[in-house]
Structure 1
Amino acid sequence: MSASSSYYVPRFDVFLSFSAEDTTTTFVSDLYRSLSEKGISTYYKDDKLEERASSFGSDIRKCLVATKTAVVVVSESYPTSVLCLNELQAILNLRDEGQLSVLLIYCGVDSSYIRKQTTEFAEPFRNLGEEYSSDKVRAWRRALTKLTSISGLDSRFWSKEAKMADLISNEISLLVTNKLNSPSTSKSDGLVALDRHMQALYELLDLKSDKEVRLVGIWGSEGVGKTTLARYAYEEMSVNFHAHMFVDNSEKNYHQHHLEPREIQEGAQTMTKSSDVIKSALGHRNGLLVIDCVDSLEQLKDIAEIVGWFGSGSRVIFTTQEKNLLDEFGVKHVYEVKSLRYDEALELFSQSAFKKKCPPTNFESLSLRAVQIASFLPLSLTILGSSLQDKDEKTWEEALQKLEGDQDKTIMEVLEKTYTRANEE
């Protein structure tokens, strides 16, 4: 048995690929510490594996396959490190095979320089050509170029790298614990990330059980996508119930749809706000009630009274920004809608700004910057993207600088004004 085959390859949740030759180690140390605090096992440094990786051995590939998630931290020395370049080839090959997810982070470098291997990277690559075969060097160059096709975070747009490390560790934590293990899918009308939200919501609703009337709260900050999720859930699940109703509480409108066995009465009608309306439509039946924008304890008490009229197996979903209401009322089943992951945020922003999933190359850095400004909030991303649609790079730069300088106002206030100005032009 060979030494290679007898060597035990450990399993990790995350594989960190980075160069230890520059200041990137500070950021990587922060990220590693944050991941460790969340109980995520992370490949950080292993002399035996690194030794084998220098010859592009099979052990590093086995480690990556077992890991499932690789975080590639590209710094100034990364593109000229043989160890990193060999790791990168293995990472990208496994990604192409669908066996590995990749999170890309640029630390103090421009993605265009990495793509073209120009400026400060030109000379080191010439030096590599003196030590390694031309085929090997070309393969490394292709890997770097291919890497830049993946959307990534840029540390230059963050004031504190430690904060960036915490964000990334939170995303990885959710991936590892299978809370976000479904790939994000773009639905109609540019809706992003609904698959993973719906998966969590289905688990809370437990539609297979018909022994109770279950109340589920959806909560989160302004603009995070609660209403979008509630509407989508209503559209997806209403077919499973004899009667269903969506209540837009912000406009005090009730949109009622009755679903009788073997017969669908299409259309919606606006009705006067009254609990009696809901009781008459859904009382003593297997029904679905979705209420958007609950902001007071009195409303929750009304909902509780209404729930008492429903038949077993019914489900009631409501959205709110007030976490204290959920605690005070003792709602047991709650789903928190958090900000989008960075890849989802970039996709949603690109759909609004360019009507495509990814930004054009010359707008890539500006788009990543815009995503940061919008705080990964769907509504903010949509407003900002729409306001910048069909604008040139100079206009983008001016708009983003203005937004970055408006620190005394909330992002929603600033973006709403931006959107209004854009529509008036």
Structure 2
Amino acid sequence: MDSSMEEMIKLLGLGMDDALIVWIWAMGGIGKTTLASAIYAHISCQFKGCSLIENVREVSKNGGLKTLNEQLISEILMGKDLKVGNIGSALSTVRNRVCRKKVHIVLDEVDESTELEKLIGELDWFGFGSRIIITTRNPHTLIRHGITHIYEVEQLGEDEAIELFKSKAFRKHPQMGGYGELVHCSVKYAKEVPLALNVLGSLLCGRNKDEL
């Protein structure tokens, strides 16, 4: 996580004045959301308005784009449950009330069906130094939007995967002591995917060999 954050922060170019969108791409469970959320917590204090919207794909599917518009505007303007009449008025609000703000926005789990232009409008609507991070698992989304700045989250190496699994399965007692074969089989089974390692390690935590 530390090395990924360092690379992402360099890519974000926080000292530059131009507004910028950076995409984080990886398959599901690799850690896109975790990375984007960690960066948001780390740098959001440098901006005048911030918004983090998780699982954009599902929220848009269930509540419609208008729900996303209202959350984005409410969080950036620090208003309580601001309402918009329609997509057009939402975009007018973004353009007219956010244009001078240096903002930080994270849109998590965007897919090719997400109409970004109806959610955030144009990049030049935002103030100098604004940074937008968008995560996706779908490479077709990247192609559709013609991105120029992308960070690909790599899978864990075997040693990192083992350490993550041990931290969940053995908690404060990370010594494998007789469980070495089980650990290696579990890591292989999870294909070194962080989410799978977290779930499997937590499931096995506190169990003895007979139960396994």
TM-score range, shorter chain: 0.7 to 0.9
Return the offset for 1:304: 5.8
Q: 2:8 matched to 1:201?
A: yes
- Aligned length in residues: 195
2:52–2:107: 8 Å Cα contact kept in structure 1?
Answer: yes
Q: 2:166 matched to 1:360?
A: no
- The residue type paired with residue 391 of structure 1 is R
User: In structure 1, how many angstroms separate the alpha carbons of the residues matched to 2:29 and 2:160?
Assistant: 15
- The residue type paired with residue 354 of structure 1 is F
Q: 2:47 matched to 1:231?
A: no
Query: Residue 394 and residue 315 in structure 1: after superposition, are their counterparts in 2 closer, same or farther (change >3 A)?
Result: same
- The residue type paired with residue 107 of structure 2 is I
Which residue of structure 2 lines up, in the alignment, with residue 318 of structure 1? 134
SS of residue matched to 1:308? helix
Q: 2:94 matched to 1:287?
A: no
Query: Residue 283 and residue 394 in structure 1: after superposition, are their counterparts in 2 closer, same or farther (change >3 A)?
Result: farther
Which residue of structure 2 lines up, in the alignment, with residue 369 of structure 1? 185
User: In structure 2, how many angstroms separate the alpha carbons of the residues matched to 1:296 and 1:359?
Assistant: 44
1:58-96, Cα deviation, whole Å (9 max, x unpaired):
xxxxxxxxxxxxxxxxxxxxxxxxxxxxxxxxxxxxxxx
1:281-320, Cα deviation, whole Å (9 max, x unpaired):
7432100010001012542333562533201110000100
1:371-400, Cα deviation, whole Å (9 max, x unpaired):
11111111100111111111112333xxxx
- The residue type paired with residue 190 of structure 2 is A
Q: Which moved more, 1:279-288 or 1:220-229?
A: 279-288
SS of residue matched to 2:106? strand
Q: 1:301 aligns with which of 103, 113, 117?
A: 117
User: In structure 2, how many angstroms separate the alpha carbons of the residues matched to 1:390 and 1:315?
Assistant: 43
Return the offset for 1:329: 1.6
Query: Residue 271 and residue 366 in structure 1: after superposition, are their counterparts in 2 closer, same or farther (change >3 A)?
Result: farther
Relative contact order higher in (CA < 8 Å, ≥ 6 apart)? 2
2:112–2:144: 8 Å Cα contact kept in structure 1?
Answer: no
Q: 2:36 matched to 1:220?
A: no
CA RMSD of aligned residues (A): 2.8
SS of residue matched to 2:51? strand
Return the offset for 1:209: 0.4
1:243–1:281: 8 Å Cα contact kept in structure 2?
Answer: no
Return the offset for 1:215: 0.6
User: In structure 2, how many angstroms separate the alpha carbons of the residues matched to 1:395 and 1:306?
Assistant: 56
Q: 1:243 aligns with which of 40, 45, 49?
A: 49
Query: Residue 296 and residue 195 in structure 1: after superposition, are their counterparts in 2 closer, same or farther (change >3 A)?
Result: same
Unpaired stretches in structure 2, ≥5 consecutive residues: 60-67
- The residue type paired with residue 234 of structure 1 is Y
1:244–1:282: 8 Å Cα contact kept in structure 2?
Answer: no
Task: State the TM-score, normalizing by the size of structure 2.
Answer: 0.80
Query: Residue 350 and residue 314 in structure 1: after superposition, are their counterparts in 2 closer, same or farther (change >3 A)?
Result: same
User: In structure 2, how many angstroms separate the alpha carbons of the residues matched to 1:376 and 1:196?
Assistant: 18
SS of residue matched to 2:211? helix
Which residue of structure 2 lines up, in the alignment, with residue 378 of structure 1? 194
2:24–2:152: 8 Å Cα contact kept in structure 1?
Answer: yes
Query: Residue 270 and residue 357 in structure 1: after superposition, are their counterparts in 2 closer, same or farther (change >3 A)?
Result: farther
Higher Cα radius of gyration: 1
2:24–2:151: 8 Å Cα contact kept in structure 1?
Answer: yes
SS of residue matched to 2:111? coil
Higher helix share: 1
Q: Which moved more, 1:305-314 or 1:221-230?
A: 305-314
Return the offset for 1:348: 1.5
Which residue of structure 2 lines up, in the alignment, with residue 418 of structure 1? none
Which residue of structure 1 lines up, in the alignment, with residue 64 of structure 2? none
Return the offset for 1:237: 0.8
SS of residue matched to 1:386? helix
SS of residue matched to 1:393? coil
Unpaired stretches in structure 1, ≥5 consecutive residues: 1-193, 260-264, 397-425
Mapping 1:3-402, distance limit 5 Å: 194-210=1-17, 212-248=18-54, 249-250=56-57, 252=59, 254=71, 257=75, 276=90, 279=94, 282-303=98-119, 305-356=121-172, 358-396=174-212
- The residue type paired with residue 369 of structure 1 is C
Identity of aligned residues (%): 31
Query: Residue 381 and residue 328 in structure 1: after superposition, are their counterparts in 2 closer, same or farther (change >3 A)?
Result: same
